[in-house]
Chains A and B, each alone.
Chain A
Amino acid sequence: MGRIKTIARRSFLIGSAAIVGGVAFGTYMYKRDVANPLEADLGEGAATFNPFVKIDADAVTLITPRADVGQGAYSIQAHLIAEELDVDLDTVRIEPGPPSPAYYNGVVAVEGMPIAATSETMLARTGRGAANVVGKLMGLQLTGGSTTVPDMYERLREAGAVARETLIAAAAAQTGLEAGTLRTESGAVVLPDGVRLAYTDLAATAAETPVVEEVSLRDPSTWRHLGKPHMRTDMVAKSTGTQDYGIDLRMDGMVHATTRTNPALGGGILGFDASEAEAMRGVQAVLPITGGIAVVADNTWRAFQAAQAVACDWGDTPYIGDTALQFDAVATSFVEDRQDSRFKDEGDVTEALAGADVMEAEYRIPYLAHAPLEPMSVVVKLSDGRLDIWTGTQIPRFVQAGAASVAGLEAEDVYVHVLMSGGSFGRRLEDDYVRQAVEIAMQLPDTPIQMVWQREEDMTHDFPRPLAIARARGLASDSGVQGYDLSIAAPSVAKSSLARLGQPAMGPDVAIVAGAWDQPFAIPNYRVTGYRVPAMVPVSSWRSVGASGNGFLHECFFDEMCHSAGLDPLEERLRLCTHDVSRKVLEAVGEMSNWGSDPGAGRGRGLAFVLSFGVPVAQVVEVMDTGDGIRIDKVFVAADVGRVLDPVNFEAQVTGGVVWGLGHAMNCELTYAGGVAQQDNYHAFEGMRLYQTPQIEVRGLENGTKIQGIGEPGVPPAAPALGNAIFAATGQRIREMPFSKSVDFV
């Protein structure tokens, strides 16, 4: 026990000065002032060295606190630890860990700051440092913003190295041998004579061994897994139906529930008649919850059927409920007192764009649903003042706090068990579904309750990606783009989603202009202005957040300017590019796509470039106008994350991002009537299907100086590259999503 206290108070030396490149390794002091949550229920003879590694006589357990929503977060976190700890991942346990401030995210807060990824000014560096402080002080345990790798790259390798060196020290103490003569391999300390002491057998000794404080990280040239193709840890389970999601948990005495709340968002419920539902087979209860009803039954389908049979008297939505009016609210927001930001203001745009030869265009993007394939699901059990929650979530500490407030418990009485999510795309940054389940549990204690939403409930109760309108003005001549004035009006994601987490959102919302204001181009007169539309239906982060739509708004009009002046869109971007890493990405995609060559009759190529989440990504889409519609044949992608840790998953995330970006651009929108989302299942919100999927060629470059994540940055350039390709093939300029309003797709 004494030792635990010492460790908790002790600072230890960790780290490497080199973020990428592995040249200059040093160590620095890192104040370890956050308690290790693994110490709480450490058994006899078990050891933990930091919040990420626990070893007992049975197993080595690696804690991978960033949520896995399909992006491979568990696997890459485990590989980061294993690379230093020397364990084989098929022999260890991989667990997400409990909610704890120790698992704070030290980089995600940067996304809320107006700091361009390409900026290295003192202000930018200070801001990045502040994000770490904010994350740590708040104990901000959050998965999002493509931050898992940049945030965990050093922390997890350090955790592995500290554990390894402490195990070596334990082996030295146990054998009387010099630590310097020992090495580690496959979960064991190996003695000079070849005898292997398994980590699990060393656990008890290690628990009594002072943690080795000074470690240095291995040079990337010696890595065995990282940087090389390796197998994700979840592939076998996900290919054999043995991966459990929240919808799959089965417990003794478990009942099945579903909820139905007012489809007119925020309208509440005035009353309901459950008499028919209550008489249906298997129905155990129809319960009131905030804004609607819950049905508890002995089978999910019976709960679904009964929920539909409850006659509900719904209230009216308090929001602007019709999409035409919602767009009107956006269109009337380009006024001074709604100006939210002007982070980019170069040259003299007013003067430069005063002439009659200025081009103007308006672009529109719709609301979009997340619609992960697993509908919202959660299992809850409330018993004797203890609340257990099993669910996929990107925000376990907010789930814990929110559930505690609903149930009137202390946060420490709420146990959140994080599960693999069947997709998210940002949806599991919300805790609305958990709160509903807790309301059910309060009316039905001592029973495990699995709550699953019907698909229709899921799609009509999303917090969508907001709609937006862009007004663009520009001027280009044969000597180049001279002026670009882009104004974007959208509701604030930050304000809407942070309010639901009980956090204030101060200052301008970077998301309104992300992916537009921060692009590395030296246009002489260049201005990007954000306008904040007053809040309408609640909105939230959607894969690549602001950049998801702003890439389209910024890049298609740039293409328009190039074509109007007879400029080659690639050459012009290269000419204007101020960021070497981005330039190489553009050059790479030009080479991959054979840009400039004749694409053939009826065919067209479109280029787009977006730097988001610190990652420059260029894409060329090649389409064919078949006469029966547009066919997307090929997509070329070049992206630079500084260092590619898992080339196989890198490619999967980029191609997935391209399919996501293209599919929604092709045929998806969420529209509202009377506050009710009109697209309530996949027949009306289809995205891309396999027969429409192009060949996608991906190249990962490693010129960037910082390591970055790739879950999101592949999305933003896809839609504009498609729009630009359709223009190249047909001469038709599309300024509104979904594109299916303007063209047919094969």
Chain B
Amino acid sequence: MKLTVNGKEHEVDVEDDMPLLWVLRDELGITGPKYGCGIAQCGACTVHVDGIAVRSCQLAAGDLEGEVTTIEGLGTPEAMHAVQAAWVEHQVAQCGYCQSGQIMQAASFLDLNAAPTDDQIDAAMSGNLCRCGSYPRIRAAVKTAARRLQGV
């Protein structure tokens, strides 16, 4: 099958039911999206499909429709996306393992809701687990990113 990831087209030969997460990680070597639970409980595997946050451990390769963006495609160390820059500014990460997913979730959410309320932020980000407990800074970083994206 063909798929487009971070603007690049790939051809892979996989079972229809292989989750997108493992196509990315083990077939294409794109390891930003992480495996944490495999059952939609942690959000570490979050990527965008046509800009919308999706748990890639739950999306079968055969069901993929649209272009995939992973954390690597959102921004790079040299040219970070506003959400990533806010994450660095607030020093959100501890072990960091959940943060690719957190950032992809936040980026998609802010794309759909440019000026979210605190409750909306809480609701949007609560599917992503952080065992290290970085939640207070995730909240703060989402707010900073929202302001930056609006050019405030």
Contacts and interface: CB of A to CB of B under 8 A. Distances in A.
B35 A70 contact: no
Contacts of B125: 690-691
Given A71-B94, A235-B88, A245-B97, A691 B38 contact: no
Contacts of B97: 70, 245, 372-374, 422-423
Contacts of A455: 35-39
A239 B93 contact: yes
B52 interface: no
The size class of the interface chain A forms with chain B is 35 or more
A696 interface: yes
- Report whether over half of chain B's contact residues are helix, strand or loop; otherwise say mixed: loop
A301 B19 contact: yes
Interface string B17-51: 01101100111010111111111011010000000
B53 interface: no
Interface string A205-221: 00000000000000000
Contact of A373 (B27, B122, B129): B129
Given A299-B27, A374-B97, A422-B97, A681 B37 contact: yes
B84 interface: yes
B39 A70 contact: no
A270 to B, nearest CB: 28
A281 B41 contact: no
B91 A690 contact: no
A164 B37 CA distance: 47
A565 to B, nearest CB: 35
Interface string A269-299: 0000000000001000000000000000011
A244 B93 contact: no
Contact of B34 (A247, A421, A686): A247
Contacts, number: 186
B134 A656 contact: yes
B80 A239 contact: yes
Contacts of A383: none
Contacts of B88: 231, 235-236, 239
A422 B123 contact: no
B15 A648 contact: no
A682 B42 contact: yes
A659 interface: yes
B30 to A, nearest CB: 9
Interface in A116-155: none
Nearest to B124: A690
Contacts of B99: 238-239
Given A300-B35, A652-B91, A240 B133 contact: no
B18 A70 contact: no
Contact of B70 (A238, A241, A304): A241
A237 B77 contact: yes
A652 B41 contact: no
A503 interface: no
A234 interface: yes
Nearest to A714: B133
A349 interface: no
Give the most central of B36, B71, B91, B126: most A CB within 10 Å: B91
B103 A422 contact: no
Contacts of B18: 299, 301-302
Contacts of A70: 94-97, 132
A244 B122 CA distance: 29
Contacts of A301: 18-19, 21-22, 26
B98 interface: yes
Contact of B35 (A235, A375, A693): A375
A239 B92 contact: yes
A329 B127 CA distance: 38
A72 B92 CA distance: 12
Contacts of B144: none
Interface in A359-407: 371-375
Interface in A148-206: none
Contact of B95 (A244, A373, A452): A373
Interface string B121-152: 01101111111111111110000000000000
B100 interface: yes
B31 A244 contact: yes
A639 to B, nearest CB: 15
Contacts of A243: 96
A478 to B, nearest CB: 40
Interface in A642-699: 648-649, 652-653, 655-660, 663, 681-683, 686-691, 693, 695-696
Contact of A683 (B41, B87, B94): B41
B67 interface: no
B35 A659 contact: no
A420 interface: yes
A740 B137 CA distance: 26
A687 B135 CA distance: 12
B133 A247 contact: no
Contact of A235 (B14, B27, B91, B123): B91
Interface in A413-458: 420-425, 452, 454-455
A696 to B, nearest CB: 6
A652 B135 CA distance: 10
A245 B98 CA distance: 12
Given A239-B87, A300-B35, A690-B125, A372 B95 contact: yes
Interface of A: 69-72, 231-232, 234-245, 247-248, 250, 256, 281, 298-302, 304, 371-375, 420-425, 452, 454-455, 648-649, 652-653, 655-660, 663, 681-683, 686-691, 693, 695-696
Given A690-B139, A691-B123, 7 more contacts: A70-B96, A231-B88, A245-B34, A247-B34, A373-B130, A375-B35, A686-B129
Interface of B: 14-15, 18-19, 21-22, 25-27, 29, 31-39, 41-42, 44, 70-72, 75-77, 80, 84, 87-88, 91-100, 103, 122-123, 125-139
12 contacts: A70-B132, A231-B91, A240-B72, A241-B71, A242-B72, A242-B76, A299-B26, A300-B22, A373-B132, A455-B37, A652-B134, A657-B133
* Closest A-B pairs by Cβ, 8 of them: A241-B32, A70-B95, A659-B133, A238-B96, A422-B97, A241-B71, A301-B22, A656-B133
